[in-house]
Structure 1
Amino acid sequence: MSKQVSISVIRRLPRYYRFLGELLKNGIHRISSRELSSRMGLTASQIRQDLNCFGGFGQQGYGYNVEALYGEIGHILGLDQNYKTILIGVGNLGRAVANHMTFDGRGYELIGLFDSNEKVVGDVVRDIAVMDMDEMEDFCIKNKPDVAILCTPREAAQRIADKLVELGVRGFWNYSHYDINMNHPHVAVENVHLGDSLMTLCYKVKDLDSPDGPAEGNKNI
């Protein structure tokens, strides 16, 4: 089913999941699409269209059961899969990702950290000792990770990605700016471009000063 769903809908699912989780924390167990739309800044029609891509979750005159919908979206996203994950590149960025990202509960189990810098190898980050890159192949053969987080320089990323695909890794959270899908079109890749996000914010701030007011696109999606 996921192949028939547009990427724009898929990118909204984590936001639905987050908002529904907040509703549950606040003791709200039932909500209409109209009420949800006012909280999220989406139209009720958009919400219904998005959720109908995966089946009928609401009931006429009742709305949505928050707990049930929260669980369904979590299942759709695969948050119950617990994919084995390794991180390559434990510099400032990689260390920040390892330390501050909540992997459990988002579908992942971080099992290994790797770096080529001998000054970093042996450091313990998130209760995991950083291993040398020379140990990566044996580790992958033994532990069979599903996903890799690449926090490496671009020039090293192609070689590392090629090797990881060969070792069975099928998903990449990619900070390296190297286009993994160019050589491996059949693996799942989520590219993270922090600079692009910062430039988009720059446009939105500039747009606030427009004589006609902020554009329609100057909203969260």
Structure 2
Amino acid sequence: MTENTIDVMVRENSGKGAARTARREGLVPGVIYGGGKDPVSINIPFNALFTRLKAGKFLSTLLTVNIDGKKEKVICRGVQRHVVKDLPTHVDFLRLSDKSRINLFIPVVFENEETCPGLKKGGTLTVVRNEVELKVTANNIPDHLTVDLAEAQIGDVIHISDIELPAGTTPVITGRDFVIANIGSPSSLRSADAEEEAEAAEDEAEAKDE
């Protein structure tokens, strides 16, 4: 899994005074805890944090914090915001061990579109989910999920059960075999089908009138 790296710095002093000073200097105070180690107070450049928050899914993205050259895997466990401006004022990060179980959104990649029989016949690939939220182990996070379209035909529906998941990885959504994508009929074929259905309906109506 490609990790997002954020450069942070140790915050020597704690308390509200130190936090206010950090914010005046364009920094967001935070803390890294867990993993059997002592908590570490940190400061994060506001612009770097704000950019990642705007990108979305910050609470379910594996991150690497770089503290003076020392890197640790973390996941965000909370962002406090200003009650009026809605800007970040404090961030909590949880350290991860190799055995930690976390929920992450993993992108879906479609392969062999150029040779897909259904697409070559004019079918259309409709992507229902371009990413899937999975429960994964921190030391075995996939870069992506692969859907092979080499033999996919018009009318085929790809479900999560059709995708091979890494060992120990499970979908967060349980209880149903949800759809990832499908290959629909060409528009011309759909139009012809619609006309046939309309004609059949008219014939049935006429038969009833007789």
Q: TM-score range by the shorter chain?
A: under 0.3
More strand by share: 2
In terms of fraction of residues, the more helix-rich structure is 1
Q: Which has the higher contact order (CA 8 A, sep 6+)?
A: 2
